[in-house]
Structure 1
């Protein structure tokens, strides 16, 4: 065992399977090719689930039925992935609900007799859930700190992948260690027709999707006056661009979007402050020519939908695995003393390092990344 010890689905779906043993290594492992039904434990945020989808598709293309234990927002996203057979929904919020709140779900999962339960996210919550699944094989990719107790019921652990690799490639690499030999299948989406029709009624071409909020931490956010100045500079060069900004519907995010609208004062900026379903968000992103935003789940979804992106990042451990790669993506990065020292010098919720990025820099990156022809 690696690591140290210090005390509902919409549309068509495919499937996976899992089983349980109380002690690591108690039974000999089944070969990968023998798996018929697998449970993927994916209790994370939107971006985490986005990066699990290529691995889900790799398993199903190998003839495995895949079920996923996920969060409510993860279930919304996976409803757009035809290969997912079933989702088991567990709330993920702060503070997390006590484990006994989900015993009914765990009991139902144990009745499925899965061949394997796999988690690519090495948090205690994911490890406990994989261990309690009742699957024959209970496998965890260790990605960070975890407790001995969380690893107690696992039959196998996989060491961390190279964190310089994109996160989805790290997860495919974990599958390779388990015996998978296929090629990266990428992402494939089934966005409902009615959501696509709705998005066509919202988006005017050419279109920029803007996300100024980061649900994970306000320290991942950029000052609103800088966003406003960026749009003004963009419009000086390309006045025909329409911008639509979305949020998660929380009071704080809606207030930020309202403040942005007041700062910009231009009808070419359309604000959608109410929470959208993930299907509608995906449909809007699909209609956009480019996504501009922060280190957030929306960025990862835009990337997975094949959209060019411009994103603002502060340096952090594992950052290179999350930042989009390739010529179609512009990443504006600043060193973060808080991350390296472990001590925050930022005042309130304003990130000093991100504030060093200038609006002119972002506007120039947008113009470089803007596609010469719209591909939707």
Structure 2
């Protein structure tokens, strides 16, 4: 098949104006953190109702530095889901705390909040929920749980920029909210992310954490009183994100329209389980049906059969407690059967704003044909 006809599971949409604005940054001679980053932070803050926003070079950095901002470290436990990119738990290990996994809800595929509450101990300091595929965790129940137990909530909203919960955009409420601007996200800066904070005092402390702990003074002197990392965003990346921000609402609307078409065109006799059909809250970052259980062990063959038809497929995500790193910490197969089942059967099919309506029909036909070959 002609490579130009290949349909990846995602592709960024970057317009010519944005490309020109990146060129302006390069010509300006100021290519690291500067005026474009300041403009992006201001624009994001306005979008989130005036809450302070600070940029970083990845959502991983946003999550780790948020934990450090909260003073979480050795001896502390942080509750999270095993059904996420491994960064969600790696950042807990990075600060010396202990990740405590709980299973996921079989319908939403997000963290089971009842299981999370049951896992709270005197050592629990925080909870990191994940909005899998852009479908938000129930923010009302989440915040009530945290309030009952005095926990910090660090929202791993890496996949949910543009999503909402009961009419409130994710990022406009809550404790600390981390977004990703990675290349495959709904809003990209190539690489990058941000943290939405509660107040200016936390924002100022976060600024020191993201750049070597440095505090600068008007007379040109500086001081370093505590550890800091190197996680600042560049103006090159910020220029891309500013261009994306102009289009994000249109991107989200198009993703929702494409997702509706998937539901309308899908062959229900093929045996897949479709994701939750939430068109009010989800930003439809990914479209993820689950393979029939009888064919789950042959997922690689399904991916190969789809590629042979010119269609890319991703896997997001295997249940991370089954990785050797976490098995070494005592986690075992069988502890979280729902997450393990979803992780073994999930496939990510193409969904991005530049897709044509005909592409959805093509994917639906190809998926039914590919799974049929496995029976």
Bin for the TM-score computed over the shorter chain: 0.3 to 0.5
Q: Which has the higher contact order (CA 8 A, sep 6+)?
A: 2
**TM superposition score normalised by structure 2:** 0.32
**TM superposition score normalised by structure 1:** 0.32
Larger strand share, 1 or 2: 1
Larger helix share, 1 or 2: 2
